[in-house]
Amino acid sequence: MIKAEKATKLFGDCCAVNELDCSIPKGCIYGLIGSNGAGKSTFLRLITGVYKADMGRVTLEGREIHENPELKAQIAYVPDELYFLGNASMKRMAQMYACLFPGFNEKRFRELTAAFPLNPASSINSFSKGMKRQAAIILALSCMPRYIFFDETFDGLDPIMRGLVKNFITNDVLERGVTAIITSHSLRELEDTCDQLALLHKGGIVFESDIQNLKTSLFKVQIAFEAPYDESMFQELTIQSYSKCGSVSSFIVRGGREETAEILRAKNPILLDVLPLSLEEVFVHEMSALGYSFDQAGQQGGDENVE
Amino acid sequence: MWNKNLYKEGLRQSTLVGIIFASILLLGAFVFPISNIAQARRSGRIMIIEYFQFNPLLVGAFCLFAPLCTLSLFSFLNRRNRSDFYHSLPYKRGTIFFSYLTSVLTWVIGTVLCCSFITFTIYFFGADAVSLNFAQIFAFLFNIVSACIMVTGAVLLAMSITGTLFSNIMTALLIIFLPRTILSLFFTTLSRLTLVTSAASYGLLGQAHYNIPFGFVLGIFNGSTDMALCDFHSGLYTLIVGLVYTAVAAFAFKHRKSETSGMPAPNRRVQTVIRTAFAFLFCAIGCSLILSGSGTNVLTYVFFIIGLMVYFAYELITTKKLPNIVKFLPSWLYLVLLCAVFVSGVLLLKTADLSVSWDTDRIRSVSITADREQGHPRYEDLKMNEIQIEDETFLRMISEILEDRQALAKKSADLFNANNLYRYRMVRVTMKDGKTHLRYLWLSDRENEQFEKFLLNAGIYDAVYGERPQYPASVSMSDLSLTKEQTMALYEIYEKEVSNLNMHSWIYLNTGSSLFTDSSGKSFLPISGNIMGFEVNGLYGVTQYSNFYPLTALTPETYSAYLAYLNSSETETFSRLWEELVENPADQSNGYIEVDFVAMPGSRRKFDYYCYFNADYSKLTNEDAFCDIVKKLDEAIKVQGDHAPDLNSQLCKILFIERGQTESGSLYGREQVYVVAISEELEQALYDYNYMITREYFY
């Protein structure tokens, strides 16, 4: 289990992760989403032991990660900014990984290299952005980690490669009980892959939920009545983002879908649609609720670069 | 603490830099000894290989190889993604640090040692032409290794506290040079103000050459790098400083935050320290000039202005933010504070140095020591240094002199010249309270005589000069026309001869003191300006000594053997050349002989200067006169035949240069000497022709 207790990381005056609490169970694929500068990458660096929490603690299996080689040997970390030796080929990088990571498996490396269409003898410098990411993922997964921490994993990958990476992650989780934490802005990818999702904002987890639960606890309603009405008509529901255009109202409801539909049907609407929310809509909605909208993002400007 | 895999990976990652530098040093390892041996064989003379000649490129090991290899392997500290990668590795930071450090040192020190081994091997095969000064060479190699460790430690420390290449380099330079520069400035200024103390009086702190990189750079400017590169103490000190730097670097590396990469400093405080330190370097020079009495000089203000410019420029270059200049303006006061500390420190120490009470009752003993600033001490100086003189009369004399000179120094430095105080000895005074003071003892002629008389009467000179170095590391002759075997044979004769020598004469030969002038009327010194003798080097404990034992008429047996070697070495060539000259002395076309008449030791006349055959300077104004001299010399040579020159006669050295062409076509000129005893008549003739004549470029 990965656990953060009041974990705080400061960069000078800027607090990138602020008293963050979370616990990630073993064998779970955990997605981290959040606005730019929310502290996703910083949090990943804290749980990989790159950073040490200024306050609070981050533990893996109950032990501090920072300066703990035994735990770090079980982690594969692919950061958003990748690192390869200058002018090195995949072969050279594999040689380096084999030297530095005790769990590096040559056979797995060969399998993965065969699965991804990369030439291990070519210089990585000549690779495209997506190919470089593939290379980093191959190297990381070849270390046979028990924990996989991927930052902006799918950035630059084409849909086929994304599918391949997802497959490998899922297989590792299923077959070897690996725990994975993935951050991404592509909510569509996380929706498919993750078991749990956490939303980070301003260095703290705003909510944390099972993906299925998240998708079923929020839904969009479109409703119209013959008689005039207003928002007070739906007092028994937990309504968010209410808007009305003519006689048609749109709003998001938190709660059980069937119960809500039942309540609304009892009011005899002339139009009633109860639609599921995509993860992206959930994200936008939750962020708007926290005061992070298009307008405000524009105003906040450059102070969102702590990652 | 250390991991084999990381170490191997470190070696692999340094391969490019390693191979480039190893190739350069290897090239030097072959080229220099081969070239030296070839040169020695071509000239027909033994070449003494001293520290730098061994393989000058080895200096590059600490000047370039060590810093570049360190910068290259630890460059991950300057990039965020690389830094994150390394900090996520399953190793403790200390393990990464020490494993990579050993990779760097393996490349650098391994290359130095391999190259040295190759160089030694080549010199071994050319042993007939070269003579290695082992004491110097081993000290040189040790010092090179120490300097490599120090530079590596300093660069690592700089890299651990800063996060850009520019700030790495600047901070490393600061760490290597700044402390010693400030200390040197401080103690040199102090020494200049007090006159009775030398910078060396302050031990490790005052000896500039102890820091090898600093001493080497300083040596390039003042033309003497040997103290930094050959003194074992320098190597030891540098090694210790290097280890301290490495330990501090390891600590900083362990506590370094990954986010420091890409930033010139981890926080504002460190940035302020680096910026202020740079600026202080220049301001300290200004302070030193003011204290030394050049306060009104424009140059002083220039240094302060440069200091300020550096202060702001460093901030601008590293942060590239103009508003920072205004932001950090108040911290400029630190610079003022440092200057104030420098000035007040010098003045306070000056007051303390000139306020010592030299009451005889307070002095336990005095020892006479060598001034290390003048180069390597002599063997006898090191022996003398060990003798603690506790004689009350002597202590009283020293006490009075020290008290008087201290009083003079307090008033004005000019008073030393006004009182004819030009000679000095360096003394170490041990007080009864356990303190020791190293002082310049400025002496008048009368005081110097008293001083020496005491040393003589107390048997100190006898104790010091009664024994010569037992197992010197190298013996060579300033006249290099002899082979190594001939030199050693001569030194053996010399040792036997001087052991039977009157002690006063021997002391005179070594000190030149007027107290020991020989009564025999013989001249002690050989040819002025071209003194021949033995250069003897070795180690006394761990301190290198360097002695010169002159060859004079006081050692006739050695001298005679020397002349015999000289005359026998190139008899055939000389005979052939001489015959050609005698046949046609005025012939301008034969361009391969020069004739140079120089009075030798033992001459009744003391000819001190060369006199060229030149109408403007010599009475020898025509070819006929020269032919006459050649003819008379020829007669003398014939009389001498195969015998060694008679030392009781006037001796004349004929210097000839055999010019020729090697098989490869290059021209050479090999200098040879023939010594002949001449008659009084010829001597008179030479005298009449303005003492000596030299027919140079006699073609």
The shortest CB-CB distance from B88 to any of A12, A77, A81 is to A77
Instruction: Identify all chain A residues contacting B8, using CB atoms and an 8 Å cutoff.
Output: 99
Backbone angles phi, psi at B357, to 5 degrees: -90, 120
ipTM over 0.90: no
> B44-60, pLDDT tens digit by residue?
667 778 788 899 999 99
Q: Tell me if chain A has a CB within 8 Å of the CB of B124.
A: no
The shortest CB-CB distance from A51 to any of B12, B90, B258 is to B258
Question: Which contacts of B268-273 are long-range, i.e. CB under 8 A and separated by 24 or more positions?
Answer: B270/B161, B270/B162, B271/B315, B271/B318, B271/B319, B272/B328, B272/B331, B272/B334
pLDDT bracket for residue B565 (50, 70, 90): confident
CA separation for the pair B436, B363 (Å, rounded): 9
Of residues B547, B519, B252, the one with CA closest to residue B383: B547
CB pairs under 8 A between A and B: 61
Residue of chain A with shortest Cα separation from B13: A85
CA separation for the pair A222, A243 (Å, rounded): 10
3-state secondary structure of B522: coil
Q: What's the rounded mean pLDDT across residues B441-463?
A: 87
Query: Which pLDDT score is estimated for A295?
Result: 52
The shortest CB-CB distance from A79 to any of B13, B81, B267 is to B81
Interchain proximity A83–B82, CB inside 8 Å: yes
The shortest CB-CB distance from A82 to any of B9, B81, B92 is to B81
Measured CA to CA in angstroms, residue B573 lies from B62, B137, B658, B668 at distances of 47, 36, 8, 15
Q: Is the dihedral of CA B31, B36, B39, B44 positive or negative?
A: negative
Q: What is the helix (H) or strand (E) element at residue B49, kind and residue range?
A: strand B47-49
Interchain proximity B89–A102, CB inside 8 Å: no
Alpha helical stretches, state H, B586-679 = 623-640
Alpha carbon of B254: minimum distance to chain A alpha carbons (Å): 9
The shortest CB-CB distance from B90 to any of A51, A73, A85 is to A73
Take residue B126 and report the two structure tokens written for it. Answer: 């050319």
**Has residue B417 got a pLDDT over 80?**
no
> B196-246, pLDDT tens digit by residue?
887 777 878 888 889 999 999 998 888 777 778 888 889 999 999 999 999
pLDDT bracket for residue B470 (50, 70, 90): confident
Of residues B172, B186, B170, the one with CA closest to residue B339: B186
> B584-627, pLDDT tens digit by residue?
665 544 444 455 555 555 554 443 333 333 333 444 445 566 67
Low-confidence winner among B9-23, B279-293, B315-329, B356-370 (lowest mean pLDDT): B315-329
Q: What's the rounded mean pLDDT across residues B34-45?
A: 81
Question: What is the pLDDT of chain A when averaged over all its residues?
Answer: 87
Query: Which pLDDT score is estimated for A304?
Result: 37
Query: Which pLDDT score is estimated for B521?
Result: 41
Query: Which pLDDT score is estimated for B592?
Result: 43
Q: Tell me if chain B has a CB within 8 Å of the CB of A45.
A: yes
Q: What's the rounded mean pLDDT across residues B487-514?
A: 82
Instruction: Identify all chain A residues contacting B257, using CB atoms and an 8 Å cutoff.
Output: 51-52
Question: What is the pLDDT of chain B when averaged over all its residues?
Answer: 82
Task: Quote the distance between the C-alpha of residue B280 and its chain's center.
Answer: 29
Residue B440 backbone zone (phi > 0: left; psi -120 to 50: alpha; other: beta) = beta
Interchain proximity A69–B257, CB inside 8 Å: no
Residue B37: Cβ within 10 Å count: 20
Longest dimension (CA), chain A: 75
Query: Which pLDDT score is estimated for A187?
Result: 78
**Has residue B501 got a pLDDT over 70?**
yes
pLDDT bracket for residue B319 (50, 70, 90): confident
Backbone angles phi, psi at B527, to 5 degrees: -60, 125
Q: What does the DSSP 8-state code read for residue B377?
A: P
Alpha carbon of B258: minimum distance to chain A alpha carbons (Å): 7
Whole-prediction pTM: 0.79
Burial class (CB in 10 A: 0-12, 13-18, 19+), A94: buried
pLDDT bracket for residue B549 (50, 70, 90): confident
Instruction: Identify all chain B residues contacting A75, using CB atoms and an 8 Å cutoff.
Output: 88, 90
Q: Tell me if chain A has a CB within 8 Å of the CB of B258.
A: yes
> A212-270, pLDDT tens digit by residue?
777 778 888 999 998 888 888 888 888 877 888 888 998 888 888 888 889 999 988 99
Interchain proximity B8–A99, CB inside 8 Å: yes
pLDDT bracket for residue A122 (50, 70, 90): very high
**Has residue A276 got a pLDDT over 70?**
yes
Low-confidence winner among A1-5, A203-207, B655-659 (lowest mean pLDDT): B655-659
Best residue of A78, A83, A101 to probe chain B, by most B CBs closer than 10 Å: A83
Residue type, B381: D
Query: Which pLDDT score is estimated for B687?
Result: 64
Q: What does the DSSP 8-state code read for residue B664?
A: T
Low-confidence winner among A175-179, B19-23, B444-448 (lowest mean pLDDT): B444-448
pLDDT bracket for residue B93 (50, 70, 90): very high
Backbone angles phi, psi at B324, to 5 degrees: -60, -30
Alpha helical stretches, state H, A122-202 = 129-142, 159-176, 187-193
Q: What's the rounded mean pLDDT across residues A196-203?
A: 87
One-character DSSP codes across A103-129: T--HHHHHHHHHHTT--TTSBGGGS-H
**Has residue B149 got a pLDDT over 90?**
yes
Q: What's the rounded mean pLDDT across residues B62-74?
A: 96
pLDDT: is B177 or B194 the higher one?
B177
Interchain proximity B6–A100, CB inside 8 Å: yes
Best residue of A68, A87, A99, A132 to probe chain B, by most B CBs closer than 10 Å: A99
Query: Which pLDDT score is estimated for B663?
Result: 62
> A9-55, pLDDT tens digit by residue?
998 888 999 999 999 999 999 999 888 888 999 999 999 999 999 99
B-facing residues of A in 97-116 (CB < 8 A) are: 99-102
* Distant-in-sequence, close-in-space partners of B19: CB < 8 Å, separation ≥ 6: none
CA separation for the pair B599, B676 (Å, rounded): 10
CA separation for the pair A165, A162 (Å, rounded): 5
Low-confidence winner among B178-182, B187-191, B643-647 (lowest mean pLDDT): B643-647
Specify which of A298-307, B144-153, B647-656 reaches the highest per-range mean pLDDT: B144-153
Take residue A303 and report the two structure tokens written for it. Answer: 């102070």
